[in-house]
Amino acid sequence: MALADLLVAIEAEVNAEISAVVAAGDTDVRAIEELAKRSREDRGAAARSGWQTELQLTADREIGDAARVSRATALATRAAMLERVRNATRALLPRLLDDKLGALLIDAALSCARGPGVIRCAPRIAAQLKAPVDLSVELDASITGVEIELASGTRIVATLDALFEREWPRLAATAVAEADT
């Protein structure tokens, strides 16, 4: 029976080795699965982080683009509004030229004129003009006041248009402030 005992002992030893190998394999499988799980999670987190970063950059870019378009639209709208205000005001200037204002513009222009030349003025204020003899008079319906061109090349402009142009930046700022409220 020694052979039978030997076979039983070998079989028991083989079974023990098989159990040890299977147990070690199961441990290795669990370790590999755990490592694979962590690796998957890490890659997933990295991918999500990359996507989130990319999505955030895209969103920031789109928000910036929208803000630029919005500002450009607002500026274009404001410029169009100012142009309408400017044109409407300019259209009113000839009607604002009355005798009193005309007299002030004539006096201002003549006080600066020295020497021969040509004085052009709006027909509606021509009756108030008492030009010196060395200035010839021309009527011009497009002028909103008085313009004098001296023989020396000096040009004197006393018109509502000139006053309006000088004051336009301040008036435009006021119009924008009023529109923004």
Q: Binning pLDDT at 50, 70 and 90, where does residue 1 land?
A: low
* Residues 49, 7 within the same domain: yes
Q: Determine the average pLDDT of the residues in 66-92.
A: 93
Final residue in a domain of this structure, among 96, 128, 152: 96
* Residues 108, 67 within the same domain: no
Give me the number of domains the chain comprises: 2
* Residues 76, 128 within the same domain: no
* Residues 16, 80 within the same domain: yes
**pLDDT recorded at residue 132:** 82
* Residues 16, 60 within the same domain: yes
Q: What is the CATH number of the domain that holds 143?
A: 3.30.2320.30
Q: How far is 72 from 52, CA to CA, in rounded Å?
A: 30
- The pLDDT tens digits of the residues spanning 113-150 come to 988 999 999 999 988 888 888 999 999 999 999 999 99
- The parent domain of residue 152 ranges over 97-180
Q: Determine the average pLDDT of the residues in 87-94.
A: 92
The phi-psi region of residue 114 (left if phi > 0; otherwise alpha if psi is between -120 and 50; otherwise beta) is beta
Provide, rounded to the nearest whole percent, the portion of the chain with pLDDT above 70: 99
**pLDDT recorded at residue 120:** 96
Final residue in a domain of this structure, among 49, 80, 96: 96
* Residues 176, 123 within the same domain: yes
* Residues 2, 79 within the same domain: yes
For residue 7, pLDDT beyond 80: no
pTM of the model: 0.62
* Residues 77, 45 within the same domain: yes
**pLDDT recorded at residue 25:** 83
Q: Binning pLDDT at 50, 70 and 90, where does residue 68 land?
A: very high
Cβ contacts of residue 164 below 8 Å, gap of 6+? Answer: 89, 90, 93, 171
For residue 37, pLDDT beyond 60: yes
For residue 72, pLDDT beyond 90: yes
* Residues 89, 157 within the same domain: no
Final residue in a domain of this structure, among 96, 111, 144: 96
* Residues 108, 36 within the same domain: no
* Residues 44, 85 within the same domain: yes
Q: How far is 68 from 75, CA to CA, in rounded Å?
A: 10
* Residues 91, 3 within the same domain: yes
- The pLDDT tens digits of the residues spanning 156-175 come to 999 999 999 999 999 999 98
